[in-house]
Structure 1
Amino acid sequence: MAANALGRAGVNVRVVDKREKKVAAGQADGIQPRTIEVFQSYGMAERLLREGNQMHMAAFYNPAPSGGIMRDGRAHDVTAPTARWPFEVDYLYCFIPVKHSSYENELQVTLHQGAIEAIFLDSLRESGTGIDRPIEPTQIIIEDREDVLVDPDSYPVKVTLKHLQAEVGEETEVVHAKYVLGADGAHSWVRRELGFTMDGEQTDYVWGVVDFIPITDFPDVRNKTAIHSNSGSCMIIPREGDIVRLYIQLSDEDAKEVHNAHGRIDKMRWTSQRLIDVARRSFKPYTIDVSGDVEWWTLYIIGQRVASNFSKKERVFIAGDACHTHSPKAGQGMNASMNDSHNLVWKLAHVLRGWADPAVLKTYEFERRKYAQDLINFDREFSALFSGKPRTEENQDGVSHEEFLAAFQTFGGFTSGIGIQYLPSIITDTAHQSLATDLSIGTRMPPQTILCAADARPFELQDLLPSDTRFKVLVFSGDLDAETQRKKIDAFANGATSEGGFLTKYGKRVGSAKGWSEVFEILTVLVGKKETVNYTIVPAVLRSHWSKVFVDDVEVKGICGGTAYKSYGISPEGAVVIVRPDGYIGAIAPLEGVNVLDEYFAGFMKQSLST
């Protein structure tokens, strides 16, 4: 994820991997709604949706009075009201979330990690980046001198690499880097070398994971299903093709059997067939068997830990499982990991280009560590509910279906990634939140259909906010047929493009012929009707092209559009919304308050030498 984004930004990247070849099967497999949006921002969602399995429904099974299990109900899989996927497509570019009862029908996609890596590998080739295998680091040294660390042109990190299949005399290589990212898993070598600890706790719960094609009479095998039985708990995750994944809780006796003398899991003490046998007990009275061979399986102990630090001297960073570990049943591991990198890469790109002060890199740990701690707290509660015994006549202290369903609904915004909100910082200014009451500063910009004012073509707003390292300046101008609004937009245009205005001061970079469009993308959204609006009413300096002016109106079939101002809580007086390069809302300002944005960007951007 990091290499792909940095490569697209023109950064020279080297990726080394200890594995001899890419992942072929198993491991992580769930892509949450927000991560699908992130994939879309990099132009990779179409393939993901085409190849992956879509999960729309969840089913819940609990002990039946007569023995075995019975279904207590079904629900839409994720409760995240503004998630973009899934959608009904009336025609190619009109997106309509489907509301049903008290839930929103949101999409989670499952596709095994090897296939997801393949999407990235193909994208990396486009920027000329490959993966060097099999190579492992043996030493990392960070320069201590402050003058070297603050020098943007320095290479203060030295990494010694060992080529595991090299000819004699060519095994060792030394790389000098400006920055290093350790995305090397829960047992991270980089984390250990930096002296960071993993703080938290480990539970006694032991779970198995097995991927296979089932032969079964179980009616919800193609739905995400949680089974609470007197014989243990189990979760079904439908996968691409006919494959399903089972998460299976081992009993206390079985758990003892898989531990070695050091208290660690030893897979040699267990088999995939025994996992299937444990699952059979939970499925009764239904039957389940394996068609063909098991695709992949493993065992794990649930642990919830967060690294003591996410970076050292803002030159070496860790991401993903290297800095947070938790259970996999809520589908957060790969999603959290990729969104760590998504948060970091634009900041690195801006610093490397000399656009931003290196202090912006401190916001990576500030934002993602808070998220990681929230994730651990959520996972602790969710895992306890899932691993706990079900409530029955004999066990009134067990977990009831109502408790589990309530948690499922309550945490929907978090597990989907849609509800993540970053706290105020130099890149997240909440001072003018009241100007857009239904947008939350620090969250990602939610989707809306708007029309190009020049030709009435509908667009999904999120498609106009690609992850291309640029800040998006969304000018909600109101109705420019009104003289008061025209005066406001003229004042904004004059102020933003003046010598001291943020577009000029931070946008016009030395040696660039693009003006401020290299750093900023300006999109104007008008109040008006497609039949009468004129895009040329927007000041010329704010419209780099006719396609950058939009109107908040319903599209020609009358199905979608026309609700952006209302959905975002923006009044006809208008507002300016700043969307960060990662798609999160950084600030909101009044049209007549361009100085607010001057101050916002002054907090972390470097003034262009051309001014």
Structure 2
Amino acid sequence: MPESAACVDVLIVGAGPVGLITAFQLAKFGGVSVRIVEKQAKSMQDAYGRAITLFPRTSEMLDQLGLADELLQNCFACRDTVTYNAHGQEVPGRGWSFMNHMTDTTFDFALVLRQKFQEEIFRNAMKKHNVQVEAPVELTSAGVDPDTPPTGYRVRAVLLDHRNGHHEQVRCKYLVGCDGGRSSVRSMFDIPFEGSKTEDKWVRIDGQITTNLPKPRSYCSIESPTHGNVLWAALDHGATRIGYAFTDDRANAYPKFDEAAAVKEAIAAVKPFHIEFDRVDWWTIYTVGQRIAKTFFLDGCIFLAGDACHTHSSGAAQGMNTGIHDAVNLAWKMSLVLRGLAKPSLLETYQAERLPNVQRLIQYDKDISRLMTNRLPEGWQGDSDADVNEILGKLMEEAGSFSSGLGIFYDIQGDNPLNVKSPLTSSWKLLVNPGMRGPDIKLYRPGTFEPTRLIRELPNEASFSVLIFAASSSTTYNEPAVPGPVYLQDSPVLQPLVAQGCLRFITILPERAPSPYELLGTNPLGRAYYDAKGDNEAYRRYGIGPSGGIVVLRPDGWIGTLLPLGKEALSELEGYFSRIFL
């Protein structure tokens, strides 16, 4: 290794939301050195536009990371949706109507905050952990040293600081490309970017407007015969985004399509309604395309996340959401491996889990983007005269749980130790399964009976949570099946994980009492909470019966495994964690 090379555990390239969230987590979890570089100066990143919407599951994950409160202070919480046909009449069940069914979550709305403001919040949070974006700093070359052992600083990189023209040699254990659709990391390692780039183009324009639209502060679709399925999105700080198809007719009507043309066409797109722009904050034209990197994980040390490994249209507003899902999935795994706690093979689950979900999104996006430009999906087998807006409404409703993120799941795979179906639950009629999101249930604290939520009590600290749902009061607590420190807390496999901060216990009790001890006859495992108002809502949501049960939640909030309450579960728990940790 050259003596002049600086060493860092993780080098992140790209300081958009995906890079910032990845760096923030690694710094927050501790024990890992991280640098994040961005080739554009901050002033060039400050445009108002780009991504705007966080859907419920993304908001839940950011809540676990302690970032949601600041987002909520600044966002526009959009709970209203409406679709208008070409005559200005409301049409139920079309457009963004799936947002009306985003239930089973506290974040039952679209959190709308322009990327400029989100990035500012993420950067400030990262600074509290002594990590700042280095910009304008560009990655100019990178490679993997085959002679360096897997645990060493295998990646060699060269950074160019555009502020002074200085080149710096850097060695890192992991290089993470979060640098967008034209990723330099992906290019330097010759990772194919497979898929298609269509001829379709869309215009997006943000600003302050005056309008006679009946419901202007909503997520709205206007079914225009000339401009496709027009997006109308109420933004933060009283602004509005309008998006429409940039067809050949639009392009050929102007010698140069500039801001004035974008405004003129936006006015035409929302007819029969009237708008006037008081101010334009940002506008753009972009090409629709769907591409996926051939691999998200190369040579055991190169990673891609966000647009660097998958691109799609903004038709379903999934770009930033999908990228943040990538970042959250990757960071806790990388942190545990770098700190010498988890097996390096854990990192292989990143692509195994994220790729199928990206492929699902791409397929939806292909159809949605065509329908939004008044065309039927490729390979359409139905009526050639079908109403594209009606088909679009049905498709977006079908994809609703995926779009909200609440229905995103990670498959049970034989080589993935994180999502495991236990044979002990073969006779259960499970409402939730391994690989599914763990529902955010309402709980009450002991003593004061103050209400709280599971997610708020389980911050993402790169640690697993074992939820002990105690048996109901009709069960005798002196039975061998009762959870207690003897066969769980004192386990030679589990106890070291608790001591290392990799595992925590939470006890959930089915009814209120003066203290948890009064119900259990012993001290609870970890912190204890009561089910909401003693009506077993939490138990029912997880499908736990009167005999109780055990639920393992991964650090990112997905369910790892479920077990019945009893001594026979101990070996299952020990086996589960032994496959993950060293």
Q: Does the 8 Å CA contact 1:304/1:324 hold for their aligned counterparts?
A: yes
Within 5 A, what are the aligned runs for 1:397-476? 397-424=385-412, 425-431=416-422, 435=428, 437-476=430-469
Within 5 A, what are the aligned runs for 1:289-438? 289-292=276-279, 294-388=280-374, 397-424=385-412, 425-431=416-422, 435=428, 437-438=430-431
- Other structure's SS at 1:212 match: strand
Judged with a 3 Å threshold, the aligned counterparts in structure 2 of structure 1 residues 180 and 533 are, in CA distance, closer, same or farther, namely: closer
CA offsets, 1:449-485, max 9 Å, x none? 1222344222211111111111111011212662267
CA offsets, 1:235-278, max 9 Å, x none? 111101221111111223335689xxxxxxxxx94212212222
Within 5 A, what are the aligned runs for 1:65-84? 69-73=88-92, 75=97, 77-84=99-106
Judged with a 3 Å threshold, the aligned counterparts in structure 2 of structure 1 residues 209 and 45 are, in CA distance, closer, same or farther, namely: same
Matches of 2:250 and 2:291 in 1, distance apart?
Answer: 25
* Match in the other structure for 1:496: 488
Over the aligned positions, Cα root-mean-square deviation in angstroms equals 2.3
Q: Please tell me whether residue 56 in structure 1 is matched to residue 75 in structure 2.
A: no
Matches of 1:243 and 1:215 in 2, distance apart?
Answer: 10
Aligned partner (choices 156, 163, 169) of residue 174 of structure 1:
169
The offset of 1:318, in angstroms, is 0.7
CA offsets, 1:184-238, max 9 Å, x none? 0000000011111111112221101111111221223221111122212211111
Matches of 1:296 and 1:411 in 2, distance apart?
Answer: 30
Q: Does the 8 Å CA contact 2:439/2:541 hold for their aligned counterparts?
A: no
* Match in the other structure for 2:570: 594
The offset of 1:76, in angstroms, is 6.3
CA offsets, 1:505-539, max 9 Å, x none? x516xxxxxx35x1211001122334686457264
Q: Please tell me whether residue 280 in structure 1 is matched to residue 267 in structure 2.
A: yes
TM-score of the pair, normalised by structure 2: 0.88
CA offsets, 1:552-595, max 9 Å, x none? 2417xxxxx64111122111111111111111111112222111
- Other structure's SS at 1:199 match: strand
- Other structure's SS at 1:180 match: strand
* Match in the other structure for 2:110: 108
Within 5 A, what are the aligned runs for 1:508-523? 515=499, 518-523=501-506
CA offsets, 1:276-325, max 9 Å, x none? 22222232222112103x10111111101111000112211010000010
Judged with a 3 Å threshold, the aligned counterparts in structure 2 of structure 1 residues 400 and 586 are, in CA distance, closer, same or farther, namely: same
Q: Please tell me whether residue 550 in structure 1 is matched to residue 529 in structure 2.
A: yes
Aligned partner (choices 157, 171, 174) of residue 159 of structure 1:
157
* Match in the other structure for 1:31: 54
* Match in the other structure for 2:16: none
Q: Does the 8 Å CA contact 1:453/1:535 hold for their aligned counterparts?
A: no
The offset of 1:388, in angstroms, is 1.6
Matches of 1:569 and 1:310 in 2, distance apart?
Answer: 35
Q: Does the 8 Å CA contact 2:157/2:170 hold for their aligned counterparts?
A: yes
- Other structure's SS at 2:41 match: coil
- Other structure's SS at 2:238 match: coil
Q: Does the 8 Å CA contact 2:102/2:401 hold for their aligned counterparts?
A: yes
- Other structure's SS at 1:343 match: helix
Q: Does the 8 Å CA contact 2:375/2:388 hold for their aligned counterparts?
A: no
Judged with a 3 Å threshold, the aligned counterparts in structure 2 of structure 1 residues 289 and 522 are, in CA distance, closer, same or farther, namely: same
Q: Does the 8 Å CA contact 1:449/1:562 hold for their aligned counterparts?
A: no
Q: Percent identical across equivalent pairs?
A: 27
Judged with a 3 Å threshold, the aligned counterparts in structure 2 of structure 1 residues 538 and 144 are, in CA distance, closer, same or farther, namely: farther
The one-letter amino acid of 1:160's match is V
Matches of 1:212 and 1:253 in 2, distance apart?
Answer: 24
The offset of 1:328, in angstroms, is 0.8
Aligned length: 542
Q: Does the 8 Å CA contact 2:143/2:157 hold for their aligned counterparts?
A: yes
The offset of 1:378, in angstroms, is 1.2
- Other structure's SS at 1:577 match: strand
* Match in the other structure for 2:512: 529
* Match in the other structure for 2:9: none
Q: Does the 8 Å CA contact 2:473/2:519 hold for their aligned counterparts?
A: no
CA offsets, 1:155-191, max 9 Å, x none? 1111100011216xxx100111111111000000000
Consecutive unaligned residues of structure 1, counting only runs of 5 or more, are 86-105, 259-267, 509-514, 556-560, 607-611
CA offsets, 1:75-109, max 9 Å, x none? 46253332322xxxxxxxxxxxxxxxxxxxx2001
* Match in the other structure for 1:226: 221
* Match in the other structure for 2:241: 245
Q: Does the 8 Å CA contact 2:433/2:562 hold for their aligned counterparts?
A: no
* Match in the other structure for 2:15: none
CA offsets, 1:348-381, max 9 Å, x none? 1110111110000000011111111111011112
Matches of 1:6 and 1:133 in 2, distance apart?
Answer: 19
* Match in the other structure for 2:476: 483
The one-letter amino acid of 1:495's match is Y
The offset of 1:387, in angstroms, is 1.7
The one-letter amino acid of 1:13's match is V
* Match in the other structure for 1:17: 38
- Other structure's SS at 2:470 match: strand
Q: Does the 8 Å CA contact 1:4/1:124 hold for their aligned counterparts?
A: yes
Consecutive unaligned residues of structure 2, counting only runs of 5 or more, are 1-20, 377-382
CA offsets, 1:32-91, max 9 Å, x none? 111111111111111111201111121112233xxxx43223746253332322xxxxxx
Q: Does the 8 Å CA contact 1:447/1:460 hold for their aligned counterparts?
A: yes
Matches of 2:160 and 2:348 in 1, distance apart?
Answer: 31
Matches of 2:288 and 2:82 in 1, distance apart?
Answer: 23
The one-letter amino acid of 1:37's match is E
* Match in the other structure for 1:98: none
- Other structure's SS at 2:105 match: coil
Q: Please tell me whether residue 254 in structure 1 is matched to residue 224 in structure 2.
A: no
The offset of 1:436, in angstroms, is 6.8
Matches of 2:140 and 2:122 in 1, distance apart?
Answer: 26
The one-letter amino acid of 1:579's match is L
- Other structure's SS at 1:489 match: coil
TM-score of the pair, normalised by structure 1: 0.84
Matches of 1:5 and 1:477 in 2, distance apart?
Answer: 32
The one-letter amino acid of 1:549's match is A
- Other structure's SS at 1:196 match: coil
Moved runs in structure 1, 4+ residues, more than 6 A?
none
Matches of 2:443 and 2:244 in 1, distance apart?
Answer: 46
Matches of 2:182 and 2:253 in 1, distance apart?
Answer: 24
Q: Does the 8 Å CA contact 2:444/2:452 hold for their aligned counterparts?
A: yes
